[in-house]
Each structure stands twice: as structure tokens, then as C-alpha cells.
Amino acid sequence: MANLERRAWASMIELALAEDLLGGDVTTAATVPLHAQARATLLAKASGVISGLEAAREVFAQVDPGLEFVTLVADGDIVPAMTPIAHVSGNARSILAGERLALNLLQRLSGVATVTARYVAEVEGTKARVVDTRKTTPGLRVLEKAAVRDGGGHNHRFGLGDGVLIKDNHLAAVGGPDRVRDAVRAARVAAPHTLRIEVEVTTLPELAEALDAGADIVMLDNMSVDDMREAVTLTQGRALLEASGGVNLTTIREIAATGVDLISVGALTHSAPALDISLDFDLAPAG
Amino acid sequence: MANLERRAWASMIELALAEDLLGGDVTTAATVPLHAQARATLLAKASGVISGLEAAREVFAQVDPGLEFVTLVADGDIVPAMTPIAHVSGNARSILAGERLALNLLQRLSGVATVTARYVAEVEGTKARVVDTRKTTPGLRVLEKAAVRDGGGHNHRFGLGDGVLIKDNHLAAVGGPDRVRDAVRAARVAAPHTLRIEVEVTTLPELAEALDAGADIVMLDNMSVDDMREAVTLTQGRALLEASGGVNLTTIREIAATGVDLISVGALTHSAPALDISLDFDLAPAG
Amino acid sequence: MANLERRAWASMIELALAEDLLGGDVTTAATVPLHAQARATLLAKASGVISGLEAAREVFAQVDPGLEFVTLVADGDIVPAMTPIAHVSGNARSILAGERLALNLLQRLSGVATVTARYVAEVEGTKARVVDTRKTTPGLRVLEKAAVRDGGGHNHRFGLGDGVLIKDNHLAAVGGPDRVRDAVRAARVAAPHTLRIEVEVTTLPELAEALDAGADIVMLDNMSVDDMREAVTLTQGRALLEASGGVNLTTIREIAATGVDLISVGALTHSAPALDISLDFDLAPAG
Amino acid sequence: MANLERRAWASMIELALAEDLLGGDVTTAATVPLHAQARATLLAKASGVISGLEAAREVFAQVDPGLEFVTLVADGDIVPAMTPIAHVSGNARSILAGERLALNLLQRLSGVATVTARYVAEVEGTKARVVDTRKTTPGLRVLEKAAVRDGGGHNHRFGLGDGVLIKDNHLAAVGGPDRVRDAVRAARVAAPHTLRIEVEVTTLPELAEALDAGADIVMLDNMSVDDMREAVTLTQGRALLEASGGVNLTTIREIAATGVDLISVGALTHSAPALDISLDFDLAPAG
Amino acid sequence: MANLERRAWASMIELALAEDLLGGDVTTAATVPLHAQARATLLAKASGVISGLEAAREVFAQVDPGLEFVTLVADGDIVPAMTPIAHVSGNARSILAGERLALNLLQRLSGVATVTARYVAEVEGTKARVVDTRKTTPGLRVLEKAAVRDGGGHNHRFGLGDGVLIKDNHLAAVGGPDRVRDAVRAARVAAPHTLRIEVEVTTLPELAEALDAGADIVMLDNMSVDDMREAVTLTQGRALLEASGGVNLTTIREIAATGVDLISVGALTHSAPALDISLDFDLAPAG
Amino acid sequence: MANLERRAWASMIELALAEDLLGGDVTTAATVPLHAQARATLLAKASGVISGLEAAREVFAQVDPGLEFVTLVADGDIVPAMTPIAHVSGNARSILAGERLALNLLQRLSGVATVTARYVAEVEGTKARVVDTRKTTPGLRVLEKAAVRDGGGHNHRFGLGDGVLIKDNHLAAVGGPDRVRDAVRAARVAAPHTLRIEVEVTTLPELAEALDAGADIVMLDNMSVDDMREAVTLTQGRALLEASGGVNLTTIREIAATGVDLISVGALTHSAPALDISLDFDLAPAG
């Protein structure tokens, strides 16, 4: 439900509008009449998966609650190039004030959804889920995680509080020869019982140790495809296996074919190029 | 001066830390001793231009003022792959809590600086400046504009209040046959005298009209290279000329060679891939 | 690590200080000299488990960073009546300004820890964990969950994002005869793989359905002790069992004896009486 | 007027919603259809005095302005067990998102009102007013003070700025043999003339000194009932007398009978058990 | 457009309402019935230029969205004494809660507009614009700059980011004999190309140096009228000239007559006396 | 104590710095070296009473905690023209960034203190106190009330929550012939017992009614001096009398001579001209 999610990014949008508008909009004040009315179309100029329409709606609503924002497609829709995706109408100055931020969000989020869809298409027919990481844009995590879902991907934990993931730096803290085992057990005692225990391993012996300690999920970090295949055999469904590291559009199909359950891809959010979207503006007679 | 700039992004960092940490860090709480001390190295795994060190410092300072953050290179430095760029030391849990956000910022900002440096290298020897746009990540504008400077680029206006830029949507509001002239004149009367007047044109006749009206800067929007060359001849230094649209690493050299003063590139900020940077962690004896 | 947790309640403390201090402190301004120095002792007047010392430290630090706050016991310590638990010294006006809020927090949180310890003592020797709920004081959840741990209890999920708990109202949404099964399966598909799936049941047939659907945790809501015993037998360790409803100090021992894994108690946080703590003040010579 | 009061607690509710919802609501997202509509009833399961309905309304409004919230009783109403007190209807996910916080507030505030009503009933027929203290839940002072009024009690000062109350720690600052007199006089000179001067005394000679110095209100701190009776005789209406300390439901009647004007009771707010209130949910056909 | 500008001062109004209302309104709560309805008139008791009506509207909207606020004149209108300028109607308590802040804003802003109009009247017939400075009331800059425009004045730069103005303290940093020239050149290289370069000079040789370096605007600081006249002759339109320092209603006409383009006057905002405006209140029958 | 008061205006200063600095400081960035060190002197160019030094300190501390701010006089000191009042030293860019806001605050607050001192001087030898009103600058109330005290005046209530003041608009709500009496009695029942009851009257019969009803303070609104003298006789010390309306430097002496206890003057805060203060800057060798 939009209103619920909205709580998480409304402050970010406030902050971002302040960047653009604290000093007012001197150009518009000088050239556009105070009460001029307009209608504009948001246009996807390239093909891709749309995401961020609710964020764009929020931008215009914060700038001017009197603006009307009507979506023509839904988040998650795949659109061909030159598809109108929304109309915004009302006071012309208000539309111009919100234009840049609305586009910046739509372009970035649709970029994330579009890249995700490409990865998801690659694993079709395998049982692997494409999942995101915490390598998101600061302040946009909720929106980018939704964009990943819009592109057909799944989400990993949201933050450090809703998933136990024991990584190399944590293992260093436990030391000793049985460090994977000790860390998993420590987590089982101390972490809330509502969370599964995931541990990162880099070798098959470590995997064995993790399984032995009762890990619920094991992350295979930068393992070769052969090792991953071996890992799947060795695990026999006792834990979920997550492939991580070195994943790109060329390698993901082969990785998925090993039988892992999850493939996490940082590039879904940290390097997705923007989808080209513009706002085209027709000035109606002044209201 | 760091403290001054800091005011602009401290709230964004607060917001972004909340994303990651509102529910605490259950893994670390379960596996890393409360008073464990550590030292970690931030390592640039790929070559590029570093940017965002002060933002990373702020992240760690907000998480725990007791952490020590020491930079080994400066923002704007070009580094080869596998260069250590900073050390952070202190409470191990605190370092782990700040790790992801510090990396997310450094990777993105160094990505922007690195891409910018490539564009700047292409125009070397011409008089053209590479400038950014307002197509920045929501909430990160100050940091990304600094990253553009770190990469050797220049900044366009910061927001809608510190530059007059009359675009097609504004011209639509003026209507009539002399719309460029009328808009420039309206801006001259109404805008603060401290700002130059820039107007976007798409044809040479519009350029002539803009010069005639006394525009200080003219943006040549999506013009052919031939038209841009003609524009430079026609203008004879009466205004600054800014090329915009269709600029990429393949085309920028030719555009610069036309003699324009400025070339604005949205991709500096909206599509720069992250630079690969990691945090490597050595656990010291508990303090 | 204190600094990390602190992020979660510093704003609440700011808000609460504003309640008390927005109009200044007219009494102190009129009667206590501007530069008077003082030392005060926080004294537990009743026996109990102390919690909230770091919150009290934050209160005084926000009022005046120049105050020195020294703890004499640690959070989680069981103290007899009339035990000094901390000293605060520095500007006398500042101490008086922070006194009430520091005490309000310490009294409430130590009350929670003390009540929790009583419940935990009752289940000693059984395998049952005493866990809290989301029935916490608005704004104080992080602190009250820590108080539960200080009293020897464990935490259930922090918020709605870090645990799947399917309750009667969710089941109503699925409808149909196999609603427990359908809901658990829906959650398995849609929820992040890092979270366990918990479902609330009120009858043994529903428990069977939940186990069949692969629930990780089953909450036995308001079941009779006999039914709970039967539930333990029926489950055979395939899922964690959580007793909920009608738990008090009289009933908890019998419930724990059934062999359930977890017993959740709302009263730990929603009805714990305050522990009596005072601040006693000796005025030193003005500095 | 609700809108006016609302200003004081809207931020607290924002903070508290963030605790519960920052990571979204994974259970509801997985099991309740996006557009499912529902109607729910808030039900007082125990008898008591209701308080907090406007706070609950605000919770649901912040979660989703589209929810309709209809009260069936008013704040301050005494209701028997199993009384429906409000309906909330609209999007099912939104209702579930606000449920816990709305209940936490209603349960706590109705608990305060209910306890207050018991104290007020005990003093019926005497001239004594039951008044609250500053021992309120951090962040909830405005709401808890309203709950005290809903239970028939009166409010003492709101914060440190709207009442002069000279306590032992202030007296320590004045020192000397005439410290009560000196402190009252100092306050008379320095405090705004709009405020009455109250001073805390523990003995009858101190009371005499306070009256002599022109105190407007005298707090009799932990005095015996006999001394309080003597204090009333001695004062002869020259000041208001407030009994404080050792007040409970057993002792308050006798205290009131001494003829004191005010009896302040910290337990009204610091130790009131929650009133049992639930939200029962009927799923309507999807909208 | 009001909604756009509003973003800049809504937080200030929130802060200012908190000053007045955090402890509620005890007088109104005691004397005005909860549901009493009223209509009030805002009355300009002295003649002047009105400014701040949108800020007053925001005050009442924040206090109670149910209030109706109807303006009878527009910002910038010149009104005779005893002119009704707006009506506000709705809940009587709400009107009383917003009254003082609405008046404080209207009185101050209309004071600024009225003083500005007097300065503007003095320069009528000359080409000089009266411009403001950054000597505004902290937190009210956007509103006071609008008030200057309402009075017929023009705005100088809004903040330090939207105008280059090199003053004596900057020149001190450049040192050397050609310091004006060096500073202007440094600014030309480093500042965004969208901004004009202004430099402050105190002598005619410095003016020559500034013109020579290509300054766009030169501020003549505390120059004699004779020197200013000479400056105009010397400049021959190569730069805008701004007179600054020692400007008052007695001197401004003579200064304008020298032919300078701009005259900046700090007193427009830092010392304008309030315009007398009251709120008169008629109580309607309770709703 | 500075730290305590500071809480009330730190947010206002944050907001005001944002006005000036959100877009950075382009002039300083272009002309002042990054690490240049400087020392500057704040200089009172006119004689007056200084106020606002702690606010200025806070401005510089927020801009750059590394700046050193040393006061040479204290708030409340009367200084002759050309008195240095403080030094600030450290990073030159930081000093320039804070300069304007620090001056804006010092000039305004010293203006308030200076005007107050003039009023206070006029009533010397009478028993009347000069008190302020709520006609303060939005956001600056705490600071302006302190400035009034620095000038020798006293404060009236801070906001609507810490004083009962029944004015004409409240009386309108009570209606009937005994409206003053009824309103005072209503307030006595409903308002916290810690507050005195003040009522505004315009005639001597209303004064009699107010005294009869037991008002603690009576405001004589716009009464003639003769009527005020009569009011003093009539009251015989049964209530404090406050003169209000039509008070200026010409009339206040005569008003004070009537024997009233308090004279409230809105002009102390709403129309005080700024005191001329400058910041003079010497650039030291770069650090």
C-alpha cells in the first residue's frame, strides 16, 4: 500500500526538494505567469521496466498538493520506447519545480528495475532467485528494493537488524579453528529466534562446518562454478545456498545452473544506468 | 572547508544510517565482543579518482565519535588498483556498523569522479569546460558536485535558485513569435542582478534572437556539430555557449573542437558505475 | 556498543527534554547561582534490576556536555534497596534540568528489567525462554527491549519488518478451509529468505496444518496447558513453539513445564511498575 | 481542540511508527492483498475510563489518510468490559500497520485515566484535588496529562517553565538558616509575575517560614497525617497546601480529610497498568 | 505560487508555534468552550503596504486545517489606516492559538514592505533600483525578501551560494597590490559560470582595477556622492554600479541622481518598525 | 547556564544557517585559500547594551567547531561606541560563513537590550517593572526575552501555556453582564493552580469586578493616566496592576508615577532598531 511505504521516503524527498528549491526558482518566477496552468506528460524514451511512480507522485504532492498526477502504466510494467507513463497537471510553476526530482527518481529506479529484469531473464527455468544487497543508494533503500521487486527480483535483508549474516569480518572476531561453527552457534543463542542464521564461507570445508553447526543459509563467496556445484551436492537441501561475488550478465546463467537457491547481485543497485525519461510540457490557457 | 560543506549532507547520512541500523545490528551483537577493538583498511580495488572521503569520515563519526579515521590519499587523487585509501580504527562493532554506508558513498562518489576525469581528458587542449547538471542522486547533490570537481569538471548551477536557465517549457509559457527575446527580457527585469541569464535554443535563428536579447549564456540543445560550429562563429564571444544533449565519450572531443565554452553531461552523475572499494578488517586484541 | 544503540533513542530524549524545558527552568534560574557546581547521587531506593544507565547518561549529556556521569553499577545488575547507582557532577542548574527525565527513564526501564527477572526466575530449569512483545512504550522500544535483556529475557522481533508473524487478522485475509497452510506458503514465497515464518494457531488441528505447511515457529495463542503439552508432543521439534496469552507470574511455571520453547509476555513492558529511584544532591562551593 | 493539542504529540507518533514500520510489514505484504478492504473494532476488554482516542486517530491518519476512524465513546467515558470504543475502516494493510501503536497508546492512556478515576473517587466529598506530577512517560506528557483530566484529576505544572516549585535541591543552593524564606523571596524577585511560588517543606517550622515569606503554595513532603492536619490549621488559607509522598489508594482518603487543597500522585502516570484493549478485524471483500 | 514558496518557511512557522503553544493555551482552555465558533478580522490600524498574508494563512492552517482564511487585500497593496485585510473563521480556540504569531509575522513583514515603499518612492524617476541585503531576520529571509518586492524593491542575492560578492575580508585574503584584479580573476575561474562577479571597492582607483579585471557589478562602499558621480562617468556602462553604506531616506535621492544602477539598504529589513495590525474577534453561536 | 538555554535556539540557528549556506559560499571558495587562518573582531560601532553573545558563539560553533570564540564583554554590559565585544579565530572560510548570521543576531538582540534599557531608565525610582510581551520575532523568543532581561527589563509569560491572561476576545466568549467575574472564576477552576490569573480590563467598573472575582493581576488596557491613578487607589494592593497600550518613551514616566506595578511594552521587541555591529577581519598566515 502506497501510503505505508511512503513514510519511509517522504523525508528523503523533502531533503532532495530542499536541494533544488531552497532559493526558489528564479527562472520560472521571471518567465511563467503566477497562475498559468499546464499539463505535462512523463515519457519513457527508452524501453525498460518502470519503477518509482509513487515516489514521483509524492514529489509533486509535496511541491503542490493541488497538482493532479495520473499514472498510465504501473510500477513493474515493461514498456517500449516512447511510452507515456504518467500525466501531471495543474499550476505550471509547480510542475516545473518538481520536474527534475521526479525525473531523477524515475530514471534511477526504472534503471534498477530494468537491469534486474535482465538478470532475472537470464535465470529463467532454474530455481535460483535473483536477490539484491545493501549496496543501495543512501536514502533510497526502500525505493530501490521495491524497484528490484518490480524487475522480478527478490529482496535480501533490509538492514542490519532483520537478518543474521556472518561475514569474514565477524569470523575474524571469533578466531580459533572452529570459527564458523562457533559463530553460528553464538548467533543461534543470541539473535532473535525469528531470524534465520546465514554465514559466508569461501571453501567447501567451511561449508561443511556451517552445515554441521546448523546454519540456515550459507553464502558461497566468490566460489568457482565447480565448487558451487559441489556445494549443492554436499548440502542436500539442509540449508539455502546463496551465490555471491563475480556475478554479471555473462556468468549468472551458469551459476544458476549449479542449483544454488539464491544469487545476490550488488550491481542491481550500485551501477544501474538511468533509464531515459523526460517531461514534456504543454501550456494550457491561464486558469 | 570540511565543516562547512558537512552541514549539507549530515542529515542525509543520518537518514541513511537509520535505514541500515534502526533495528540494531543483530549479527554483530551476537558474534563480536562488546569491547573488541579493530583496525580496517579502505581499499580501492580498481583504479580511479577518489571522492567522498569526508563523507565516509562523517559516517564513522556519526556511528561512533570514538573511531579514528585517517586518510591515506586526498579527494581528487588518481589511484591505481589495490590502493589503500584510508584506515579506520576503534571499536569493532562500530566499524562494522558504518562499513556499508561508508562504502556505498565512496563507491558512488569515486565512480562519479572517475567518469568525469574521462570526459575531461577527452577535451584536453580545447577551451571547453565539462560541467555537470541537476541530474544528481536525490540527497547527494553537494557531494556529487564535489565529486565532479574532484574529477576535474566544473559545476553548473546548484539548484533552481542560483542560475537563470530558460528552457523549452518556460518558452512555451511566453508563446508568441519572439518568445526567446521576450523570455530573456522578462528574466533580465525580474531575476536578481547577480545572476547571468541563460537560454536554451535548438536552432541558429533562435540563437540569433537570444544574442540580440542580450542572453549571457546560450545552451545549444541537441544541435549538430556543424550547427554548433556555426553558432560559435555567429556568436563572436558575445555570450558563453553551452553544448548539451547527445554528449558521450565518443562525441565529446568533436563537440569541444567546435569552440563551445561549456559541455554539460548528465551521465557524470546519473549513470556513473560504482568504483570497487572494500573494507578489510583485522581484529586486534580486545581493549 | 553504546554509541551505536544511542542513535535510536537520542531523538526521543530530545523530544522529551523539550517537554520539560522549552520554557526554561524558572525555579532554578531564580534560586540557583549561574555557576554553582554540584554532585548528585542516583539512588535505587528499592531492590531490583537496573536498566537505562546509558539513557540517563545521554539525558545529562544533551542538557550539558560538561556534566560528568559516572556509573557505580552496570545495566543488568541486581541491587539491594538504597544502592547508589551513579554520580553526576558539574553545573548545578544543568543537573536539575536533566534530573526528572533521567529518573523517569531509569525508573521505567529498571521496572521492566525487574519484572522480567521475576518471570525468568520462574522458568529456571526449563528450556523455555521468556520473550517480550511489541507492546512497548511508544518511542522507547529499543530501550525497553534492552531492559528485557538486562532482566534475563530474550527479544521477539523488533518491528513489523524483521519477523514474519501471521496472526488471526492475516488469516482472515486468506479465508478458505486451508487458511493456515495457504498463509504460511504465501509467506514462504514472498517474505525475505532471511526470516523465519511464524504463525499463530488456537487449536491443535491448526497446529498440525501449520507444521504440515512448514512453519518455522508456531504461536499457541491462549491454549490450555493440556493442549500446549499435547502440542509439544505433536510437534516433535519440527518447529519452535511459543506460548502466548494468559501468562502471569502464577501461571508461567506450569506453562514452561509443558516443554514449549518460548513464552511471550506483554506485561514485561506494558504494565511494569516503576522502580523507585531518586537523585540526591549536595551543593559544592560555586566554581 | 484536537488540532491544537495534536501538534504536541504528532512527532512522537511519527517516531513510534518508525520503530515499528521502518522495515515495512513483511507479514502483511506476504499475506494480505494490496487492495483488500477491512473494518475493525477497537474493543475495551476490561472496564475503565477511556483516553487516547485522538492519539489513536492520529496514528491511523499518519499511516494512511484514507482510513476512516469513528469513535463510539468519548475520552473520559467510563465503559464496562467488552465495550466497542471505535471503528476503523479502509485498506486492510494500513489498519494492520497502525494497530499495535494505536493499541499501545490507548491501553496506556486509558490505564492512566482509570487509575486516576480511582484516586478521585477516594477523595470525593473533600475539597482536595488529585493532581499529577512530572513523572510521566518521556514523550507522552501532553497525552498523559489529558488522561489525568479524563480520569477526573487536575494537572500540576506542565514543565519546568510554567511553575515555580522550590525543592530540597534548590534549598541546598541557598544554604543558611533562613533558606526557605530566602529562596521564596529570590523567586518572587526573579520569576515572571504570572507564576505562583510553590515551596516544598518537610516540617511545620519550615511551613511557618514559607508562609511568612509569602509562598503561594506549600508542598508538604512526606509529612505524617497529623502534621498535615496541623499544617492546615496553621496556614489558615494563606497558601494552598499540597500533600506529596506516600500517597496510595489506601492512604489518600485520610490525607484528603486533613483539609489539604491538593494531593499529588506520581503513580497516576509512572505505574498505571495498561487497560486491556484489542482490535478485532473483519475482512471485507477486496475493493 | 504559494505552495512552492511555503516550503521555505513552513518549518520556521512550526518552530515559532511551538514557542507559543508547547504548553497548550491555558487561558483559552479555561474560558472558551471547546466547540465555540468565531469569525475574526485582521485590521491594519495604520496605513502602509501589506505583506505576509500567505504566511498568516499558513499559521492558521498549521494550527487547525479547519479554519477558513479569506484575504480582503493582496500582498503589495497599499492600504489606508483601519483597513480590514483578512477574515479568519472557524473554531474560536484555534483562532486564538494562531493570533499572536499571525500578527507578529504580518506586522513585521508589512513593516518591511512599508519602509521599502518609502525608499522606492524617493528614487522615482531615476534608473536606480532599491535592493535589499542579507541583513534579514534569521529564519525569515524568504518572507522578508518577498516583502521587499511587495514594497517595490528588488532582491540582491538570497544567500552565499547564489551570487559572487567579493568584499574587503576576501580581498585581505588575496593580499598584494593587484588584489581587486586578482580576486575578480580567481572568481571568474572558480565560480559557476551562471553567476555574475561583484566586487566591493572603496576608491576610484579600485573601481578602475575592478572594471579592468572584468567585474560584472561593482559595489561602491561608503563613497561620497561626488565619487559616485565620478564612478558612473568612469564606468560608462561596462558594469552595474551598486551604492552601499550610509543610505537613508534623506540621502537616497541624491545618491540615485548620480546614475548608479542599484542602491542597497540594510535598514529595509534590519530596522523596519512593525506596522500596527490587530485581530478583532466576534464570537458566533457555538457550532 | 548557556548549555541549557541553547537547546531552545539551536534549531533556529540551524534553519537560519541553511538559508545562507545551503548552496555553499561561492565567493569564499573562489577567493580564500582552503586552509587560511584568520582572526576577526566583533565591534560595536554604536553605544548600547550588548546581548546575543551566546547565540553568536553557537553560530560559529555550528559552522565549524574548530573556531575559537572569545567574548570581551558580557551580555548586559553597556558599551560605548567602537567597543570590541568578541574575537573569533580559526579557519578564514568558516568565519566568513558564520559572519552574517552572527551579526544579524547580535545587532537585533543588542537593539532589543538597548531599547529596553532606555525604557527602564525612564521608570527609575518608581516601583514599576518594565515587562515584555509575546510580540517577539518568530523563532527568537527565548533570545529576545533574554535581551529584555539584559536591558534591565522583566519578562511576562513566555507562551500561552505559562500564564493565564484573559483578554477581550476571551471575554466575548463568556458573554453576559458579569463576564469578567465569570471568566476569572472559570479560570480559577480549570487552570493549573501554579499560575496566577490575569485579566484585561478597560474601565474602572471592570477593574472592580475583576478584583471582586479574585484576579491576581489586572491589565489596564489603554486607560488614561488619570484612570490608572484611580485604579491604583481602588485596588489597594489586592492585585498587581499592569499598564498596557500607548506606552512609549515620552509617556512611560508618567504612567509609572501612577503606582502601577508593571508596564508592558510591545515595542521592546517588535520595533527595536538594530545596533550597529561589524566584524573586522585580519588574515593571518595560512596554517
CA nearest to B151, candidates B79, B218, B57, B87: B79
| Percent of the residues in chain F that have a pLDDT greater than 70, as a whole number | 95
Strand duo B83-91 + F262-264: pairing = unpaired
pLDDT of residue F18 exceeding 80, the answer is: yes
Spell out the residues 6+ positions from residue A192 whose beta carbon is closer than 8 angstroms to its own. B26, C154, C155, C156, C157, C158, C162, C163
What value does the mean pLDDT take over residues C81-90? 97
Query: CA–CA separation, C184 vs C180, rounded Å?
Result: 6
pLDDT category of residue B189 using cuts at 50, 70 and 90? confident
SS3 label, residue A69: strand
Strand duo A197-201 + A164-166: pairing = parallel
Helix or strand run (H / E) with residue D37:
strand D37-44
What value does the mean pLDDT take over residues B7-11? 75
Q: How far is E285 from chain F (nearest CA, A)?
A: 9
Q: How far is B233 from chain A (nearest CA, A)?
A: 28
Q: For residue C114, list chain D residues with Cβ-Cβ distance below 8 A.
A: none
Whether C23 sits inside 8 A of E22 (CB atoms) is yes
CA-based radius of gyration for chain C = 23
Q: How far is D118 from chain C (nearest CA, A)?
A: 17
With the C-alpha atoms ordered C92, C95, C100, C103, is the resulting torsion angle positive or negative? negative
Cβ pair F223, F242 in contact under 8 A: no
Query: CA–CA separation, A87 vs A73, rounded Å?
Result: 11
CA-based nearest residue in chain C for residue E24:
C19
C19-60 pLDDT per residue, tens = 888 778 889 988 888 888 999 999 999 999 999 999 999 999
Q: Active site residue: A100, A157, A188, A229, which one? A: A100
In the numeric block, the cell 521599502 is attached to E116
What pLDDT score was predicted for residue B15? 84
- pLDDT (tens, 9 = 90+) of chain D, 287 residues, equals 345 566 667 888 888 888 888 778 889 988 888 888 999 999 999 999 999 999 999 999 999 989 999 999 999 999 999 999 999 999 999 999 999 999 999 999 999 999 999 999 999 999 999 999 999 999 999 999 999 999 999 999 888 888 899 998 888 777 766 789 999 998 988 888 899 999 999 999 999 999 999 999 999 999 999 999 999 999 999 999 999 998 999 999 999 999 999 999 999 999 899 999 999 987 554 43
Total Cβ atoms within 10 A of residue B165 = 22
What's the DSSP call for residue D65?
Answer: T
Helix or strand run (H / E) with residue A238:
none
Among the partner residues E1, E158, E161, nearest to A91 by beta-carbon distance = E1
B84-141 pLDDT per residue, tens = 999 999 999 999 999 999 999 999 999 999 999 999 999 999 999 999 999 999 999 9
What pLDDT score was predicted for residue E214? 93
Alpha helices in chain E (DSSP H): 2-21, 26-31, 53-63, 92-122, 141-150, 168-174, 179-190, 204-213, 225-235, 252-257, 267-270
What pLDDT score was predicted for residue C19? 83
What value does the mean pLDDT take over residues F185-211? 92
Computed over every residue of chain E, the mean pLDDT equals 91
Cβ pair B264, B154 in contact under 8 A: no
What pLDDT score was predicted for residue D189? 86
Residue of higher predicted confidence among D19 and E143: E143
Whether D158 sits inside 8 A of E23 (CB atoms) is yes
Residue of higher predicted confidence among F33 and F256: F256
Residue of higher predicted confidence among F202 and F34: F202
What pLDDT score was predicted for residue B18? 83
What pLDDT score was predicted for residue B7? 67
Q: Active site residue: F167, F168, F212, F280, which one? A: F167
What value does the mean pLDDT take over residues A66-71? 96
Is A200 noted as a catalytic residue in this protein?
Answer: yes
pLDDT of residue C96 exceeding 70, the answer is: yes
Cell, residue B74: 586526498
- What CA–CA distances, in Å, run from E251 to C96, C103, D137, D190, E120? 55, 62, 61, 46, 13
First to last CA, chain E: 34
Q: Active site residue: F75, F200, F242, F261, which one? A: F200
The CA-based angle F105-C96-F165, given to 5 degrees, is 60
What pLDDT score was predicted for residue C283? 54
Q: How far is E121 from chain A (nearest CA, A)?
A: 23
What pLDDT score was predicted for residue A191? 86
Chain D residues whose C-beta sits inside 8 Å of any chain E C-beta: 1, 3-5, 7-8, 142, 158-159, 161-162
Helix or strand run (H / E) with residue C68:
strand C68-71
C167-194 pLDDT per residue, tens = 988 887 777 667 899 999 989 888 888 9
Is C145 noted as a catalytic residue in this protein?
Answer: no
DSSP A115-164: HHHHHHHHTTTSSPEEE--S-PPTT-HHHHHHHHHHTT-B---SSTTS-E
SS3 sequence, chain F? Answer: CHHHHHHHHHHHHHHHHHHHHCCCCHHHHHHCCCCCEEEEEEEECCCEECCCHHHHHHHHHHHCCCCEEEECCCCCCEECCCEEEEEEEEEHHHHHHHHHHHHHHHHHHHHHHHHHHHHHHHCCCCCCEEECCCCCCCCCHHHHHHHHHHCCCECCCCCCCCCEEECHHHHHHHCCCCHHHHHHHHHHHHCCCCECEEEEECCHHHHHHHHHCCCCEEEEECCCHHHHHHHHHHHCCCCEEEEECCCCCCCHHHHHCCCCCEEECCHHHHCCCCCCEEEEEEECCCC
E234: buried, middle or exposed (CB in 10 Å: 19+, 13-18, 0-12)? middle
Q: Residues of D with catalytic annotation?
A: 100, 135, 167, 200, 221
What pLDDT score was predicted for residue F285? 46
Rounded to two decimals, the ipTM of the complex is: 0.91
CA-based nearest residue in chain B for residue C163:
B23
What pLDDT score was predicted for residue C177? 67
Cell, residue F24: 555553499
Whether C66 sits inside 8 A of F3 (CB atoms) is yes
- What CA–CA distances, in Å, run from A116 to A145, C214, D213? 11, 30, 78
| Percent of the residues in chain A that have a pLDDT greater than 90, as a whole number | 72
Cell, residue E80: 489606508
Q: Active site residue: F6, F39, F100, F229, which one? A: F100
| Percent of the residues in chain E that have a pLDDT greater than 90, as a whole number | 72
Spell out the residues 6+ positions from residue C233 whose beta carbon is closer than 8 angstroms to its own. none
Q: Active site residue: C135, C149, C238, C253, which one? A: C135
F76-110 pLDDT per residue, tens = 999 999 999 999 999 999 999 999 999 999 999 99
Touching subunits for chain D (3+ Cβ pairs under 8 A): A, B, C, E, F
Cell, residue E120: 522606492
pLDDT category of residue C15 using cuts at 50, 70 and 90? confident
What value does the mean pLDDT take over residues E132-152? 95
Whether D170 sits inside 8 A of C28 (CB atoms) is yes
Is B135 noted as a catalytic residue in this protein?
Answer: yes
Mutate to test the interface with D, among A4, A57, A149, A158 (most CBs of D within 10 A): A4
CA nearest to A91, candidates A258, A223, A286, A229: A286
pLDDT of residue E177 exceeding 90, the answer is: no
Among the partner residues F129, F194, F198, nearest to D156 by beta-carbon distance = F194
Alpha helices in chain C (DSSP H): 2-21, 26-31, 53-63, 92-122, 141-150, 168-174, 179-190, 204-212, 225-235, 252-257, 267-270
Spell out the residues 6+ positions from residue B235 whose beta carbon is closer than 8 angstroms to its own. B207, B211, B218, B241
Q: Active site residue: E5, E64, E182, E221, which one? A: E221
Is C45 noted as a catalytic residue in this protein?
Answer: no
CA-based nearest residue in chain A for residue F15:
A22
B246-277 pLDDT per residue, tens = 899 999 999 999 999 999 999 999 989 999 99
Q: Active site residue: B39, B100, B157, B185, which one? A: B100
Q: Following CA atoms E27, E32, E38, E40 in sequence, which dihedral angle do they give, to the nearest 10 degrees?
A: -20
Query: CA–CA separation, F110 vs C71, rounded Å?
Result: 43
Q: For residue F158, list chain C residues with Cβ-Cβ distance below 8 A.
A: 23-24
What pLDDT score was predicted for residue B30? 87
Computed over every residue of chain C, the mean pLDDT equals 91
Whether D192 sits inside 8 A of F155 (CB atoms) is yes
With the C-alpha atoms ordered E6, E8, E9, E11, is the resulting torsion angle positive or negative? positive
Q: How far is C125 from chain D (nearest CA, A)?
A: 29
Q: For residue A54, list chain D residues with Cβ-Cβ distance below 8 A.
A: none
Helix, strand, coil percent content, chain D, rounded in steps of 5: 45, 20, 35
Is E100 noted as a catalytic residue in this protein?
Answer: yes
CA-based nearest residue in chain E for residue F280:
E169
C205-214 pLDDT per residue, tens = 999 999 999 9
Whether F19 sits inside 8 A of A22 (CB atoms) is yes
Touching subunits for chain A (3+ Cβ pairs under 8 A): B, C, D, E, F
Among the partner residues F20, F139, F161, nearest to E134 by beta-carbon distance = F20
Lowest mean pLDDT among B138-142, E15-19, E88-92, E255-259: E15-19
pLDDT category of residue E5 using cuts at 50, 70 and 90? low
What value does the mean pLDDT take over residues F106-125? 97
Query: CA–CA separation, E279 vs C216, rounded Å?
Result: 65
C52-85 pLDDT per residue, tens = 999 999 999 999 989 999 999 999 999 999 999 9
Whether A4 sits inside 8 A of D63 (CB atoms) is yes
Query: What are the φ and ψ backbone dihedral angles of B128, each rounded to 5 degrees?
Result: -75, 135
CA-based nearest residue in chain B for residue D16:
B22
Whether B19 sits inside 8 A of D18 (CB atoms) is no
CA-based nearest residue in chain E for residue A36:
E1
How many helices (DSSP H) and strands (DSSP E) are in chain E? 11, 12
First to last CA, chain C: 34
Among the partner residues C7, C161, C162, nearest to B21 by beta-carbon distance = C7
Among the partner residues E3, E158, E159, nearest to A94 by beta-carbon distance = E3
Touching subunits for chain E (3+ Cβ pairs under 8 A): A, B, C, D, F
Query: CA–CA separation, F267 vs F118, rounded Å?
Result: 12
Neighbouring C-alpha atoms within 13 Å toward the C-beta of B194: 28
pLDDT category of residue B1 using cuts at 50, 70 and 90? very low
Q: How far is F52 from chain B (nearest CA, A)?
A: 22
A193-203 pLDDT per residue, tens = 899 999 999 99
pLDDT of residue A224 exceeding 60, the answer is: yes
What pLDDT score was predicted for residue F283? 54
Among the partner residues C156, C165, C194, nearest to A196 by beta-carbon distance = C194
Q: For residue D22, list chain A residues with Cβ-Cβ distance below 8 A.
A: 8, 159
pLDDT of residue C285 exceeding 50, the answer is: no
E103-139 pLDDT per residue, tens = 999 999 999 999 999 999 999 999 999 999 999 999 9
What pLDDT score was predicted for residue C230? 98
Whether A158 sits inside 8 A of D21 (CB atoms) is no
